[in-house]
Structure 1
């Protein structure tokens, strides 16, 4: 028992479980582990191995149902983990409560079942994960009655589903939306816009529609970084990357329609892009019509809507030119999980510095530019600048002084009285 207690503490159980549900080599899904596990110690006399912490990262404090699960993520799970393998068109949002051996050698699995059940209001599937020897018949019966999956974890790292849950519908909150956002093609986790000018992404649907080879057309007229342009276009929902190839989305087709209406052909439209190479002027100033289209495309990106609305509220509260730390502090009060996912780098060291064990923001850390996520503070901000939405462009985190980096709307809307 002593050996099992040492090897299957709660962080160990959770690490094995995350590896099973969200394998590192999977090309889909996203999961976060609660901030309490960012600590370097767990039991009174035991340290958490750094390899476990690295596996558990990224950390966030996400409220689901009545509390904060140990793990929350979105992914199409293996068929043997669910009673049904999908819910509608979206992968399920999954919540996990982990239980391991405590200092006295006990495992409170029943409490884990009840905690997992309390997450079902906002999760599609919930599990309790625990050492295999601690899972008895009464635990399985309780879990079956409450529609809670049970994952039996062995000391060798294997994880078996001894009870599988049914996938259920749920209600969506801003907290669970943050995780769904990161798991989508438009999320910023482990990805980067790569390029900081929106013309490179707007041009991709035109090059895709062009009868010649997409990469050659894009390289000739716009940018040689074809893969980065394609990734950014997918982020902005202009194209969809499928197993059988890249396809235009409805928004991407609208970009093509705009080009055809203005120029008669995408070839003629792309010729204009040659003129804009290496220009540092605001895109909405040098190409007003394209700037308006850019504004529409960028505003359709979910993160833009949240940022613009909250910057407007900051203006109404008397802060027309907030600095980056002020923006993050303000947003974290209203949308904590979304703010962390959007602005804070996902590695264990950074999340452990910026958030304490209870998920509270450590404000002093926000003055360090290196804690910020480059696709947001550099590329996304630069695109909002070129679209005419923000007053200043983005900056690489390595060169960023957060206290001097302002996030102000170019046009503020004065509140009007109801009529």
Structure 2
């Protein structure tokens, strides 16, 4: 029998994650392990190796069904992991419950199956990952009956697919939606807006439409950081960034039409962009029509709607000039998973400092700017400032004072109360 240390629950989960979510660089895949696995020790006297924690990172505490799965993510799975080949165009939401050898040498496989089954109320597919040698025929029969996939982990840390589940069509709740967001082209996991002025992103569909080479046009007229502009344009859904090359989306096409309605040609529009290079003035003030277009585009970005909605609610509750710490505390109460994914860096160190093993917020850690995700607190905030939504621009994490950094709406509404 494999030892408890070699096939403990963290070891089993890390092996299962490598099979379900291999590091292939896929743009539509993302997964988080539960915060309980960020601890230094799992079984008494048996630390979790740093290598295993690194494999399981990032960490978050995501509620699916009536509990918190050990691993939750989004990815298009290969046919060997599913009972059917066809399951729609969108990657399924996957929940995993792992069980390893306890300090007494047992494995509670039945509990893992039942827990995974509970996740099917909101996930599209659920698996239990367990030591292969501990699995009985009755365990497999129960998993088949409940439509739970079963992954058997061997002592050499390979994976045997013992049972395959069918995809079920569930609507993802708010918490699961945060994981889907990170797996989408607009998610900020391991990515960055890179540039803090929206003109650099608005210009990208214009550069594609131009008859000359896209990167050359952008570098000559707008910004030399072409790759960063391309990434940000994809975040804002202005382009579809495929390996074969970027194409203009329907929203990006509207930017081109907007430009051609106001200028004689794309060249003339891009010449106007040259005039804005190096400007620190609010885009909404310098170029009101482009600023208004920016506002409409950035409003379609899911993170914007969440931030603005909650800032408005905070204003109505008398919190008129919240700091970054105030905002993150508030958001974590109402949207815990989304808050961590959007504002906190995905590194093991940052998540472990901000969240305890139960997924509760360590408020003291929020005073350190280094735990924050730069694409949100710097670039996205700057874009919202230029669009006329927020009063102040963002700051880089190493220069950030979260307790004094204000997140206030330019035009908060007075609450309408019915008589």
Same fold (TM over 0.5): yes
**Paired positions, count:** 418
Aligned residue for 1:298? Answer: 298
**Alignment partner of 2:246: what SS?**
strand
Question: What CA distance in whole angstroms lies between the structure 1 residues aligned with 2:64 and 2:85?
Answer: 22
Alpha carbons of structure 1 residues 207 and 36: separation in structure 2 relative to 1, 3 Å: same
Contact 1:84–1:166 (CA under 8 A) maintained in structure 2: yes
Q: How does 1:218-297 map to 2 (within 5 A)?
A: 218-297=218-297
**Alignment partner of 2:46: what SS?**
coil
Question: What CA distance in whole angstroms lies between the structure 2 residues aligned with 1:47 and 1:260?
Answer: 62
**Alignment partner of 1:404: what SS?**
coil
Contact 1:147–1:166 (CA under 8 A) maintained in structure 2: yes
Question: What CA distance in whole angstroms lies between the structure 1 residues aligned with 2:184 and 2:221?
Answer: 30
Contact 1:76–1:86 (CA under 8 A) maintained in structure 2: no
**Alignment partner of 1:130: what SS?**
strand
Aligned residue for 1:142? Answer: 142
Question: What CA distance in whole angstroms lies between the structure 1 residues aligned with 2:418 and 2:85?
Answer: 49
Q: Normalising by the residue count of structure 2, what TM-score does the alignment of the two structures yield?
A: 0.98
Question: What CA distance in whole angstroms lies between the structure 1 residues aligned with 2:240 and 2:326?
Answer: 35
Aligned residue for 2:188? Answer: 188
**Alignment partner of 1:219: what SS?**
helix
Aligned residue for 1:316? Answer: 316
Aligned residue for 1:123? Answer: 123
**Alignment partner of 1:127: what SS?**
strand
Q: Which moved more, 1:131-140 or 1:17-26?
A: 17-26
Q: CA deviation at 1:406?
A: 0.3
Q: CA deviation at 1:157?
A: 1.4
Q: CA deviation at 1:349?
A: 1.1
Contact 1:86–1:92 (CA under 8 A) maintained in structure 2: no
Question: What CA distance in whole angstroms lies between the structure 2 residues aligned with 1:84 and 1:393?
Answer: 49
Contact 1:291–1:386 (CA under 8 A) maintained in structure 2: yes
Question: What CA distance in whole angstroms lies between the structure 1 residues aligned with 2:37 and 2:361?
Answer: 16
Aligned residue for 1:10? Answer: 9
Q: CA deviation at 1:244?
A: 3.1
Question: What CA distance in whole angstroms lies between the structure 2 residues aligned with 1:271 and 1:255?
Answer: 15
Aligned residue for 1:80? Answer: 80
Question: What CA distance in whole angstroms lies between the structure 2 residues aligned with 1:214 and 1:84?
Answer: 42
Q: CA deviation at 1:264?
A: 2.9
Q: CA deviation at 1:31?
A: 0.2
Contact 1:77–1:85 (CA under 8 A) maintained in structure 2: no
Matched, 1:332 2:332: yes
**Alignment partner of 1:4: what SS?**
coil
**Alignment partner of 1:407: what SS?**
coil
Contact 1:64–1:119 (CA under 8 A) maintained in structure 2: yes
Question: What CA distance in whole angstroms lies between the structure 1 residues aligned with 2:213 and 2:53?
Answer: 45
Q: Which consecutive segments of 4 or more residues in structure 1 shift more than 3 A?
A: none
Q: CA deviation at 1:418?
A: 4.2
Question: What CA distance in whole angstroms lies between the structure 2 residues aligned with 1:318 and 1:86?
Answer: 51
Aligned residue for 1:27? Answer: 26
Question: Residue deviations 1:220-260, cap 9 Å, x none?
Answer: 10001111101100000000012432111111111111001
Q: CA deviation at 1:88?
A: 2.1
